[in-house]
Structure 1
Amino acid sequence: MQIYLVGGAVRDQLLGRPIKDKDFVVVGATVADMLDAGFQQVGADFPVFLHPATHEEYALARTERKQGLGYQGFSVHASPDVTLREDLQRRDLTVNAMAIEVSSLTDDTPVNGEVIDYYGGLNDIESKTLRHVSEAFSEDPLRVLRTARFYGRYYDLGFTIADETLTLMRQLVRSGELAHLSSERIWQESSRATMQLSPQVYWQQLFEIDALTEYFAPLHDAWNKTHIRETVQTALYFAGQMQLNLSQRWALLMSSLNADLFNITEKASNHHQLTAAKHISQIGNTAKVPKIQTQFANLFVQQAEQLSAIDALSAAEKIDLIQTCGAHKEPEKISQLLVCSQVLQLASTHRQMMLALGSFHAISMDHIESGLQGPKIGAALRQARIQHLEIQHT
């Protein structure tokens, strides 16, 4: 029997990140061996066990075969003859498919600390690349969301998704397999990603590969407008930096569904006749978003204009806003809503200034009349930059 620390704990140890959970693979053991050692089996048909003292997960080495639709459509084969290499091959990304041998079931001290790496995880850690282990990646649609989540998690370290892995993700989306994911797993992955330091990365990546159309269709439609998408992405970035809670982050994401908040006044198409509130509720029902997040998002989107103009409200309007928001019962709610409002306004202002900065750098001496001298050069550059920025706003 050999026991190995695997997956995220190995990856985060190599990256110098805190290790939250430890998972182990046991090679050469049977269910009876684990039960005799005092481990508790999780599920009748799945070879995963909880350590009697630490409650950490120990799984028998196993292989999987795709037999049905979705991430549950697999048959699992676990036996003492399954090797570590075979077990690691079924994992999603190379950075998650490394192992370190430990002493025993009761002692997780590394035998020698050597990282066992059959599939190039160490190289991909070095090159900061998220890459699939094998073509079996495309058998599990949940891996589209997981890869996007890992991308967001390690975005600040400079990680990118390998082109060939992005190709498989797009193929999975086009296959319709995402429709067979449970709403609970959709929310589990999405909420975890939304609470990361760079939550905008997950949602942007899913948008780019058309993965929002199944469970978040109204959001995908709204983000087709560059103005809305870029502003909300910036708001989510600020939300991550400011450590806002999940309800606040979800409200900022759902603000995408009210074009009025972004000074967009064109008529909506027939496809967009539902109100923002109905869209938020639709997403909430489809993706099993908890009611507390849906209700807060609806409240923010409905009251966003009032919140942004708080200084201009009359005494009566302020009292009514307190009543509407339920802040007389939960005083912290109005504070959370006001922070969301300020973040959204800051994101809008930031985007405008980034456009101005882009126009400034887009215009050089090559874009003005040759032969100008002295102050006329500066004046011509300034005017050309102004014209360039005005075009960006049209």
Structure 2
Amino acid sequence: MQTYLVGGAVRDALLNRPVADRDYVVVGARPDDMLAAGYKTVGKDFPVFLHPQTGEEYALARTERKTGPGYHGFEMHADPSVTLEEDLARRDLTINAIARDQDGKLVDPFGGARDIEQRVLRHVSDAFVEDPVRLLRVARFAARFAPLGFTVAEETMALMRRMVANGEVDHLVAERVWQETRKALGEPRPSAFLRVLRDSGALAVLFAELDALYGVPQRAEFHPEVDTGIHVEMVLDMAARLAPGNDLVGYCALVHDLGKALTPHDILPRHIQHEERGVAPVRALSARLKVPAEHATLAEAVCRDHLNAHRAFELKPSRVLKLFTAMDALRRPERLEVFVIACEADKRGRLGHGDEAYPQADYLRRAHAAAAAISAAPFVERGLSGPAIGSAMERARIEAIDKVRADLLPH
């Protein structure tokens, strides 16, 4: 019975990154051996156990055999005869197929350490094509490690294109697509997630609304990058810079311009009313991916009103108040912060504009605080009741927003 540290903990240590979770593989043991040693069983599908003291996961070495389409179609085999190399061989990427024994020695049968040095994301074996989730995982790892210079090996990309062509990704269920997408949106460079999916052909299958944005022109005086798909990539990366790890802001950034794919060709490169056109595809994508309700609600708000945020100083105070109430931000102030950051990411996610100031953010935050500070109590004390209280509060909030605007605008 031998125990090895495996996977991400080994990889991240070799990259000099903080190690969060530690997973172990046990070779030469049966479930009864683990239970006898005090380990607690967890899960139904795989022989995984929790250490009695640390709570870390220890899995029996296992192999997997493809038995049907999709990521459910696998038959698992675990017994004491399964070797460490056989267990590592079922993993997706070489950088995740490295083990470290109890003496600290690396066990690296597939060259993962070399690929870490060369900054390459490479599949372990041709069995990679058997699990469509792996395609999404490669794209997610690209989003995590692109800042370190990692790229996808051409032979791995070729396998991914074959998976798309063979219809393997068609078997992915919404929950798994969203799970990997959500993680990617919290990575440092989520644009790499889109690029890998697009290069493999999977973006057109899984995110047709996003794929349709590539090649759609925008006015160069506002968007020097011109291509709408490239703009979305830049907005995603700016969102990751402004709100690291925040997949809610990331999702709003991802879908904010879906309406531009629906712009009539005769008015291009202008995109008149693209905000309104974008609401329907945002709703459709959110429903198809089964995203959380808060993601769906705020993504729609950003899509619908991001241009209003950009021209916030030009809006009447009453319109600014409607902006807040439309997203229920007076009762839920955290929503305003997500909205503002996503809109700032849109404004700064343009070629040559990444370091520009966005004073609209400060104005909207201050205006929101001023409006939210208006309560019903003073109006009740004045003897108002019923709808009159609401009307008085609305007028007071508009006046408060107007004062903030006057204070911020140059005299």
Task: Find the counterpart in structure 2 of residue 124 from structure 1.
Answer: 115
Task: Find the counterpart in structure 2 of residue 255 from structure 1.
Answer: 256
Please give the TM-score of this superposition, normalised by the length of structure 2.
0.78
- The answer to whether the Cα contact below 8 Å between 2:210 and 2:255 also exists between their aligned partners in 1 is yes
Q: How far apart, in 2, do the equivalents of 1:257 and 1:51 lie?
A: 47
TM alignment of 1:260-271, pairs within 5 A? 265-266=267-268
How many pairs were matched up? 340
**Structure 1 residues 349, 338: closer, same or farther in 2, change over 3 A?**
farther
Q: How far apart, in 1, do the equivalents of 2:191 and 2:237 lie?
A: 6
Which amino acid is 1:313 matched to? L
**Structure 1 residues 283, 147: closer, same or farther in 2, change over 3 A?**
same
Which amino acid is 1:128 matched to? R
TM alignment of 1:99-110, pairs within 5 A? 99-102=99-102
- The answer to whether the Cα contact below 8 Å between 1:196 and 1:240 also exists between their aligned partners in 2 is yes
Which amino acid is 1:32 matched to? D
Q: How far apart, in 2, do the equivalents of 1:209 and 1:310 lie?
A: 40
TM alignment of 1:1-394, pairs within 5 A? 1-102=1-102, 111=103, 113-225=104-216, 227-243=227-243, 245-259=246-260, 265-266=267-268, 275-348=277-350, 350=352
- The answer to whether the Cα contact below 8 Å between 2:42 and 2:48 also exists between their aligned partners in 1 is yes
Q: Which moved more, 1:326-335 or 1:54-63?
A: 326-335
- The answer to whether the Cα contact below 8 Å between 1:229 and 1:256 also exists between their aligned partners in 2 is no
Query: Unaligned regions of 5+ residues in structure 2, if any?
Result: 218-226, 356-411
- The answer to whether the Cα contact below 8 Å between 2:298 and 2:327 also exists between their aligned partners in 1 is no
Q: How far apart, in 1, do the equivalents of 2:301 and 2:262 lie?
A: 14
Give identity over the alignment, percent.
41
Per-residue deviation, 1:36: 1.4
Q: How far apart, in 2, do the equivalents of 1:61 and 1:128 lie?
A: 28
Give the secondary structure class of the aligned counterpart of 1:289: coil
Q: How far apart, in 2, do the equivalents of 1:343 and 1:283 lie?
A: 21
Per-residue deviation, 1:224: 4.0
Q: Which digits, 9 at most, give the CA deviation of each residue in 1:198-227, with x for residues without a partner? A: 111111211222212333211111234262
- The answer to whether the Cα contact below 8 Å between 1:7 and 1:23 also exists between their aligned partners in 2 is yes
Q: How far apart, in 1, do the equivalents of 2:215 and 2:289 lie?
A: 20
Per-residue deviation, 1:89: 0.9
Alignment RMSD (CA, Å): 2.4
Give the secondary structure class of the aligned counterpart of 1:222: coil
**Structure 1 residues 71, 304: closer, same or farther in 2, change over 3 A?**
same
Per-residue deviation, 1:352: 11
Q: Which digits, 9 at most, give the CA deviation of each residue in 1:296-338, with x for residues without a partner? A: 0001111112111100011221222222121221233233322
- The answer to whether the Cα contact below 8 Å between 2:209 and 2:258 also exists between their aligned partners in 1 is yes
Give the secondary structure class of the aligned counterpart of 1:154: helix
